[in-house]
Amino acid sequence: MRRLLRRPGALLSATFLLLVCVAAAAADLLAPYTADFVDLPAVLAPPSGAHPMGGDGSGRDVLSRLLFGARDTLIGALLATAVALVVGVTAGMFAGYFARWVDAVASWVFSLMMALPAIIVVLAFVAVVGPGLVRMMAFVGFLASPSIYRLVRAVTQRVRGELYIDAAKVSGLSHLRIVRRHVLSVVRSAVVVQAPLLFGAAILIQAGIDFLGLGEPGAASWGAMLNDAATNVFTAPWLSIWPGAAIALTVLAVNLLGNAVRDDLEPPQPRAAAPRTSAPPAPSVDALLTITDLTVAHGPVTVVDRVSLAVRPGEVLGLVGESGSGKTQTVLAALGLLPGTGRITAGGVVFDGAELTGLPERALNRLRGRRIGYVSQEPMSNLDPSFRVGSQLIEPIVVHLGLSRREARQRALSLLARVGIADPARIYRSFPHEISGGTAQRVLIAAAVSCDPDLLIADEPTTALDVTVQAEVLDLLRSLQRERGMAVLIVTHDLGVVADMCDRVAVMRNGRLVETAPVGRLFASPAEPYTAALLAANPHNAAPRRPRLGLVSGPGRALELGRSGAGDGADAGRGDATLAGAVNGLRQAGRPQVAAEPEDAFRAESGDVVPSGGFARPRVIEGPRNATAPLLEVDRLCVDFPQRGRRTPPLRVLREVSLALTAGETLGLVGESGSGKTTLGRAVLGLAPVTSGSIRFDGRPLAPRRARARDVQAVFQDPYSSLNPAMRIHDILVEPLLVTAEHTAADADKRIRSLLDRVGLPAGTGERRARELSGGQRQRVAIARALALGPRLIICDEPVSALDVSTQAQVLDLLVEIQRDTGVAYLFISHDLAVVRHISDRVAVMSQGRIVEIGDAEQVTTDPRDPYTRRLLLSALVPDPEEQAARRAARLAMFPSST
Amino acid sequence: MRALLVRRLVAAGVLLVVITALTFVLTSLVPDPTRQLVGVTATAEQLLAKRHELGLHRPVGERYLAWLGAAARGDLGVSWFTGVPVTDTIMARLPITASLAVLATLVSAILGITYGMLAAIRGGWVDRTVQVLASLGFAVPGMWIALLLVIVFAVNLPWLPATGYVPISQGPVQWIRSLVLPVTAIAIGSVAAIAAQTRSAVATVLAQDYVRTLRSRGLPRRRLLLRHVLRNAAPTALTVVSLQFIGLFGGAIVVEQVFAIQGLGSLASASSSRSDIPVVLGVVVVGVVVVLAVNLVVDLLVGWLDPRVRTR
């Protein structure tokens, strides 16, 4: 609030509105006359001592009427706003939260109201019930409520889709409580922005109604004063000034205040700044692209700091780093495509001898698309949804190569065939929303190489894709690169992609370049501790939970296991193909530091890196597990999702899935997107409707959702969505405890402190808000929440896939540790085979709603029986150039590439 | 496409029936308007005769069905005050308000979309100026602008007529001259609304990933803006323009009052202040039909512009 009033516009507006309110409240004291006092000589009199603003058409004092008029205006507008808010917010929240028939009915009614010609209906209302301020403005508010309804409904629907609502359901909270705790606060801030606009509009409508003489008969109001001015416009034109200005200024003040509130809640998106110019550094002779001391800042924050890179013709350079390392900003700066306030503050970019920084857009456009191609991360959002694929594809060809549309079409079709699209003509005619993500990425690659560029810049080109599609897209990039001799600059966080694709690697961290090395040397002997730590943290380099001789004796495995100790500098265990050596190597990788802010320790500014983030020692389980009755039994479970449209049959997402899970066990559930793995987890949690089949827990059918909370809990994928960002951690953790109700406040506090301690967070974390925490810290909070009721099963749905590798390793270690201490069982859902193998006792592989293979973790991940599992396994990238090459060869032999 | 049309037309019919029925029910709840019609000196027999003449002695449901049947054949009844058929009155008034609303919409769409695009693309002072002007345009009441325009351009500078409407049949120049001030008065607010919405729609499109990708392909800026950005911002702009058109149709009432134009708006306000129910109902029917027609056209246009809507 104080910050708000520091803006001059907002302060001025607030002061003016305050004055209007005072005028309205104290009109009896301030006004020289009553509103209706008639002074006949003052009829249409110009301003004078007795009448500072003159007299109106009936000889009444204008100043007095203006002061009294503020009353009707404010009361009327407030009334209309209040009615619209009460009706719109209530209906919108219920419709948005409960959906189904509540939503159908409410939306029908409100869309009906939206289709009314408002003013005409108001007039009809007057005709029927007669004029009057209160009833008119209440009716106006009612007519305005659909706009609030739509806003609140949309906001509620968005909130409803957030994982923190699911988490609250899993914690056993009632719907009413969920609405009160989570939905209301978000709705409130959306409505706060809208309410002033509504209030301003209501003032205008109120004035219009009074102007037409439909308001309170005979009352002093600004609208009625304008009416009087209109009647006397030829004889006393000055009369319109005061009421008109009063209305306009009040509405303006309200709107400005509303805008200030909005800006305060959501800072506006900064817009693009002009590129700066500076003296270009000398370009390196043989390189195609040379980046020298490039520094990029967003406002005061430097995101890229003196980075120098060179890409030689025909070379594949990998630019690697964790999120926030500045790798994407570096390439966008090189392309002149920096978003928002980003600008190059120092350094230069030279392409084929020509300086690019400071070049006008027109000159850049002769290079972009023609000589430099660009492929971005998210395939779907990078195609213009309004144009057919073909039309987007031929655009650069027509612009740069000057081909006719027909020639361009031929070229585009052959490009589509080249990138492995089976039916080029159909895809050419399709709209982006009609094609899959993998196809979209192929289309984007086709567009990027359509004019035979010398350099292709690919920013995380496969991150959004499934494992098998990723392998194919990388195959495509590799073969295009070889065929055309293009240089490729590939930005990625995935060392597997680097091992698969690159000749040289540059590692970035916190905006700086850490090291640049040929790919073989980087993986074999990283020069920098940070690089070594990155390698060590990769789940592929971690041991499975139960190391097996058969595995470790394989030379490839031993190499990897050994290398996970490389963080300590020594190549402990390298080449030592024994279990002892391998395990020794793992020991040296060190226990993760469960410090106050664990992943921050990894990213510590201070000089050398603490090579934490390695993996915990594998848990060795003595003897076979007791063959007790399973904890969770899923039997022939089917789940259908209803489809849009009445005639479309429902979509079967799970097809007769059966599995069992014993106490204390971890079952990994692997599959690509759309395989049904998340739905299976949600069905067990009671978040997805079961069509047929059964879920039994501890020998009994699962309890209803709210009673299930004590038995089954969840950790969700996206820690940014699974915690309400506005809530204090304490309030988040208290949520599951609310269900049991036997906790006193002191008990709850104690329990929360011990939970925070359990997940390695300091006790003070309870007072912080979720949005202040990093991804890893949030995921620790999510784990603490899952533990609060002491469940026997936790569904972990991709719990680490949103995290950087170093953080990933720490969170996985925490999960392992908790299981050791509490004996909780995990259903661990992931797309990442390496992660699943690391943490699971047994693994189930899902594809198209079925479990295609289930068995011992080692067996499934090293010697799969099912062809799909085999393909999945061989498609997974390994952060080791030699082994990756071998795997690729094996995969291509078994599943020939389409390109 | 045809299924959509049929569904929308059926929904429109239902809406018309519901609204007119509601109005009918409401009229039956308020005190008898006959006394007002025949005057205080009328005898009880005269009162009764009037009631029978207007059909008010029949139950409301029966009256409504009779009205509905006649309305379906294009007969909206007779004004209680003037005795003129409602359909005739409306047909005489409709072209006046329609020219006002259509012209004002055209002007404000052209100006609003231009300013909105300029603000989003240029940024800087252009953007700030457009935003300030838009805030002012929102805040100033149309009738005040109308009054000020009359004072400046009709009273002080006798360039344009202060009041009245000249049909286009009496000369297009005269027609335009009679419309300049009213159109300006009601267009200012909608220019502001359209500019503000277009600005934010264009800014949203400019921030999309695909715009960056299109830029990375070296497309000329003009092509990028006029082809890709405009096309993707168009559905939003179109929706705003349609809402403004509907608003202007209603907003014309106030401006018609200032300029003494005998349009649909002044008909509505006059007949509602004297409870001339048949005329009010007729105006409501016209209003609802206009709204529904505009919404239908916009939905079809948006579907044509946005392939994602089209295939749904």
Nearest C-alpha of chain B: how many angstroms from A540? 32
Name the residue type at position A244: G
**Average pLDDT over every residue of B141-166:** 81
Q: Does B253 touch chain A (CB under 8 A)?
A: yes
Q: Which two tokens stand for residue A778?
A: 């949030």
**Average pLDDT over every residue of A181-193:** 84
Rounding to the nearest 10 degrees, give the CA dihedral for residues A8, A10, A13, A14: -110
Chain A residues in contact with B290 by the CB 8 A cut-off are 117
- DSSP tag of B312: -
Question: pLDDT by residue (tens digit) across A776-818?
Answer: 888 899 999 999 888 999 999 988 887 888 788 888 989 999 9
**Average pLDDT over every residue of B29-52:** 73
Position A262 scores a pLDDT of 76
Position A840 scores a pLDDT of 92
Distance CA A578, CA A573 (A): 9
Position B214 scores a pLDDT of 92
Rounding to the nearest 10 degrees, give the CA dihedral for residues B92, B97, B98, B101: 180
CB contact under 8 A, B288 and A382: no
Q: Which residues pair with A507 in a beta bridge?
A: A320, A515
Name the band, by pLDDT with cuts 50, 70 and 90, for residue A342: confident
Would you tell me which residues 440-499 of chain A have a C-beta closer than 8 angstroms to some C-beta of chain B? 444, 447-448
Chain A residues in contact with B273 by the CB 8 A cut-off are 126-127, 131, 213-214
**Average pLDDT over every residue of B221-231:** 89
Q: Which two tokens stand for residue A7?
A: 């803006």
Q: Which residues pair with A350 in a beta bridge?
A: A290, A355
Position A272 scores a pLDDT of 39
Radius of gyration over alpha carbons of chain A, in Å?
34
CB contact under 8 A, A367 and B218: yes
Position A646 scores a pLDDT of 61
Instruction: Say if residue A388's pLDDT is above 70.
Output: yes
Q: Which of B24, B72, B255, B230 is nearest to B149 (CA)?
A: B255
Question: pLDDT by residue (tens digit) across A675-713?
Answer: 888 899 999 998 888 899 989 998 888 888 778 888 899
Position A83 scores a pLDDT of 95
Chain A residues in contact with B272 by the CB 8 A cut-off are 123-124, 126-127, 214
Position A673 scores a pLDDT of 82
Taking CB atoms and an 8 Å cut-off, how many pairs form between chains A and B? 232
Helices and strands, counts by H and E, chain A: 37, 20
Instruction: Say if residue A562's pLDDT is above 50.
Output: no
Side by side, which strands form the sheet with A301-311? A301-311, A289-298, A342-351, A354-355
Would you tell me which residues 80-109 of chain A have a C-beta closer than 8 angstroms to some C-beta of chain B? none
Residues 6+ apart with CB under 8 A from A880: A499, A523, A556, A559, A560
Position B294 scores a pLDDT of 87
Question: pLDDT by residue (tens digit) across A114-148?
Answer: 777 777 778 778 777 777 788 888 999 998 899 89
Helices and strands, counts by H and E, chain B: 14, 0
Position A597 scores a pLDDT of 39
Q: Does B254 touch chain A (CB under 8 A)?
A: yes
Half-sphere exposure of A86 (CA within 13 A, CB side): 10
Range among A63-67, A94-98, A247-251, B140-144 rated most confident: A247-251
Q: Which two tokens stand for residue A258?
A: 């509303």
Side by side, which strands form the sheet with A455-459? A372-375, A455-459, A487-492, A316-320, A504-509, A512-518
Would you tell me which residues 264-293 of chain B have a C-beta closer than 8 angstroms to some C-beta of chain A? 268-269, 271-273, 275-277, 280-281, 283-284, 287-288, 290-292
Would you tell me which residues 50-109 of chain B have a C-beta closer than 8 angstroms to some C-beta of chain A? none
Question: pLDDT by residue (tens digit) across A570-628?
Answer: 333 333 333 333 333 333 333 333 333 334 433 333 333 333 444 443 343 443 444 56
Q: Which of A124, A255, A257 is nearest to A201 (CA)?
A: A255
Name the band, by pLDDT with cuts 50, 70 and 90, for residue A1: low
Q: What are the DSSP calls for A753-764, one per residue?
A: HHHHHHTT--GG
Question: pLDDT by residue (tens digit) across B76-89?
Answer: 888 888 888 999 99
Percentage of chain B beyond pLDDT 90 is 12
- The complex scores an ipTM of 0.85
Q: CA-CA distances (angstroms) from residue A601 to A589, A605, A695?
A: 16, 9, 42
Percentage of chain A beyond pLDDT 90 is 23
A538, A879 in Cβ contact below 8 A? Answer: yes
Chain A residues in contact with B296 by the CB 8 A cut-off are none
B260, B96 in Cβ contact below 8 A? Answer: no
**Average pLDDT over every residue of A744-750:** 83
Instruction: Say if residue A531's pLDDT is above 70.
Output: yes
Nearest by CB to B250, from A119, A251, A384: name it: A119
Q: What are the DSSP calls for A391-452, one per residue?
A: HHHHHHHHHHH---HHHHHHHHHHHHHHTT-S-HHHHHH--GGGS-HHHHHHHHHHHHTTT-
Instruction: Say if residue B204's pLDDT is above 70.
Output: yes
Q: Which of A398, A461, A447, A389 is nearest to A419 (CA)?
A: A447
A348, A295 in Cβ contact below 8 A? Answer: no
Residues 6+ apart with CB under 8 A from B250: A117, A118, A119, A120, B265, B287
CB contact under 8 A, A251 and B228: no
Position A398 scores a pLDDT of 92
What sign does the CA torsion over B107, B113, B116, B117 have? negative
Instruction: Say if residue A858's pLDDT is above 60.
Output: yes
Question: pLDDT by residue (tens digit) across A817-847?
Answer: 999 989 999 999 998 888 888 889 999 999 8
Q: Does A75 touch chain B (CB under 8 A)?
A: no
Nearest C-alpha of chain B: how many angstroms from A211? 8
Distance CA A705, CA A708 (A): 5
Chain B residues in contact with A255 by the CB 8 A cut-off are 135, 138-139
Q: Which of A254-263, A858-867, B221-230 has the lowest mean pLDDT?
A: A254-263
Name the band, by pLDDT with cuts 50, 70 and 90, for residue A718: confident
Position B256 scores a pLDDT of 86
Q: CA-CA distances (angstroms) from residue A58 to A39, A40, A41, A92?
A: 8, 7, 10, 47
Question: pLDDT by residue (tens digit) across B94-122?
Answer: 988 888 899 999 999 999 999 999 998 88
The whole-model pTM stands at 0.78
Distance CA A308, CA B308 (A): 43
**Span between the terminal Cα atoms of chain B, in Å:** 11
**Average pLDDT over every residue of A289-294:** 91
Q: Which two tokens stand for residue A6?
A: 């520091």
Q: In this predicted model, which residue has the larger pLDDT, A676 or A59? A: A676
**Average pLDDT over every residue of B298-303:** 83
Residue A594: Cβ-neighbour burial (10 angstroms; 0-12, 13-18, 19+): middle
Q: Which two tokens stand for residue A431?
A: 């709209």
Position A270 scores a pLDDT of 41
Nearest by CB to A433, from B29, B140, B307: name it: B307
Would you tell me which residues 587-646 of chain A have a C-beta closer than 8 angstroms to some C-beta of chain B? 644
Largest CA distance in chain B: 86
Name the band, by pLDDT with cuts 50, 70 and 90, for residue A177: confident
Q: In this predicted model, which residue has the larger pLDDT, A79 or A26? A: A79
Distance CA A526, CA B261 (A): 84
Nearest C-alpha of chain B: how many angstroms from A143? 13
- DSSP tag of B224: I
- Taking all residues of chain A, what is their mean pLDDT, rounded to a whole number? 81
Q: Which two tokens stand for residue B262?
A: 């005998």
Instruction: Say if residue A374's pLDDT is above 90.
Output: yes
What string of H, E and C letters represents the secondary structure of A337-406?
CCCCCEEEEEEEEEECCEECCCCCHHHHHHHECCCEEEECCCCHHHCCCCCCHHHHHHHHHHHHHCCCHH
**Average pLDDT over every residue of A401-405:** 90
Position A383 scores a pLDDT of 92
Distance CA A844, CA A829 (A): 9
Instruction: Say if residue A498's pLDDT is above 80.
Output: yes
| Long-range contacts of residues A407-413, Cβ cutoff 8 Å, at least 24 apart | A411/A450, A412/A446, A412/A450
Q: Which of A510, A562, A602, A582 is nearest to A880 (CA)?
A: A562
Strands (DSSP E) found in A611-665? 632-641, 651-661
Instruction: Say if residue A897's pLDDT is above 90.
Output: no
Would you tell me which residues 124-163 of chain A have a C-beta closer than 8 angstroms to some C-beta of chain B? 124-131
B8, B299 in Cβ contact below 8 A? Answer: yes
Position A743 scores a pLDDT of 67
Chain B residues in contact with A433 by the CB 8 A cut-off are 307-308, 311
